[in-house]
Amino acid sequence: MFHRARIYGAAPTATAASRHNATVRLELYDALSPEVAPIWRALEGSTSSYFLRWPWVENWLACLPRAALPKLAVVVRDGSPVSAAFVGQRALLRRASRAWFLNTTGIDRFDNLVIEHNAAVGGELGDLIEALPGSCDELVVPLADAVPRVPPAFHVRVDREVASYYVDLALVRAHGYEALIGRSTRTQLRRAQRRAGTLALDIPNDVAGALACYDELVAHHQRRWRARGQPGAFADPWFDRFHRRLITRRFAHGEIQLARVHAGGATLGCLYNFVCAGRVLFYQSGIPAPAHAHDKPGYLCHARLIEHSAREGHAIYDLLGGDARYKGSLATAATRLVTFRVQRRRPQFAIEAALSRALRSWRDRSSS
């Protein structure tokens, strides 16, 4: 039996009251409650983050084991939902914290999906922060576009910042892709093109073809990572099941782009992208190891997909977060993604921050 888990405080916080002059409360729902899908779909609007759209979210909830399911936290103002996010709830014993994790579970195995452009749907993340109950010590927010303003009772601790590179496809249509990239990258692409010969781009047009391309991508990806002594992203059967279900259910809706680039009968690489609100989001790849350092198969695959995406009329080719050199070389611009924690002003966090500062200071002195 599904049920609403809890309703927090009918009275608004002072900040919320002054801003909205309204009654604000936080409601928590079980993830599989029948109310969840209508609330989320009503609030998701035109978000350009595929990871916040209901098809991705539904697939995530359906694949997670019940013990790992998050709650849906809904900010309600004057009786109407205005903002929502899923929150995993975990006790972090190392710093004696009762933590909530935004649109993630707080369990590494399941959070290896790595969602980006993370946010609350329907409103500002600040609405959710203001409504957090006293039983939540901190809210962990991975890979958001920006750090929000927080009420005085909280502070923000930034854990990580990474570049988020992208290609402006309007510029590609106007000037051609090669004209937009650096001289060195352009030279490498042209040399790799000559070495590869005539390139062909295959984009499946049905689910069977998409899954066949996905299978080839996984094989190349796993072989490459195992050669480095690493398990590879698809080693976990749960991760693989998630993506097979997503492709099977959503390919026909135009949300999934799988592509194979080949030359002379040999695969140069396979790419797995999402398509949402004019953005093509590069998610994973399977690139066979090149025979020579000048071959650059990954560069060639992305260049073909960038040009294809421009012809299709999309606005952005998003390489997603990461400071990998190839992303910077292929991109025309970049923003930043931030992983941070919104923490109540409590002693354990002050002690943790002081210890971190002391450790950084010691490392700086040791390296000088």
Q: Sketch out the chain's domains with CATH numbers.
A: 4-153+345-367 (no CATH), 165-335 (3.40.630.30)
Report pLDDT for 229: 96
Q: Which two tokens stand for residue 25?
A: 């409360």
pLDDT tens digits, 154-200: 999 999 999 999 999 999 999 999 999 999 999 999 999 999 999 99
Report pLDDT for 246: 98
SS3 at position 344: strand
What is the end-to-end Cα distance of the chain in Å, rounded? 61
Produce one character per residue of 16-41: b if its CB has 16 or more CB atoms within 10 Å, e if not: beeeeeeebbbbbbbbebebbeebbe
Cα 171 → chain centroid: 25
Token pair 């899923």 in the structure block, residue = 86
Distance CA 190, CA 296 (A): 10
Residues of the chain with confidence (pLDDT) below 70: 1-21, 350-351, 353-361, 363-364, 368
Q: Which two tokens stand for residue 289?
A: 């190891």
Using the 8-state DSSP alphabet, how is residue 121 labeled?
A: B
Q: What kind and span of H or E run contains 133?
A: none
Pairing of the two strands 200-202 and 154-168:
unpaired
How many C-beta atoms lie closer than 10 Å to residue 323's C-beta?
Answer: 12
Report if pTM > 0.85.
yes
Report pLDDT for 48: 85
Report pLDDT for 366: 75
Query: Phi and psi (nearest 5°) for 124?
Result: -80, 150
SS3 at position 129: helix
DSSP 276-340: ETTEEEEEEEE-PPPSSTT--HHHHHHHHHHHHHHHTT-SEEEEEE---HHHHHH-SEEEEEEEE
Report pLDDT for 164: 97
Report pLDDT for 11: 36
Distance CA 243, CA 59 (A): 9
Distance CA 95, CA 157 (A): 14
Rg (CA), the chain: 23
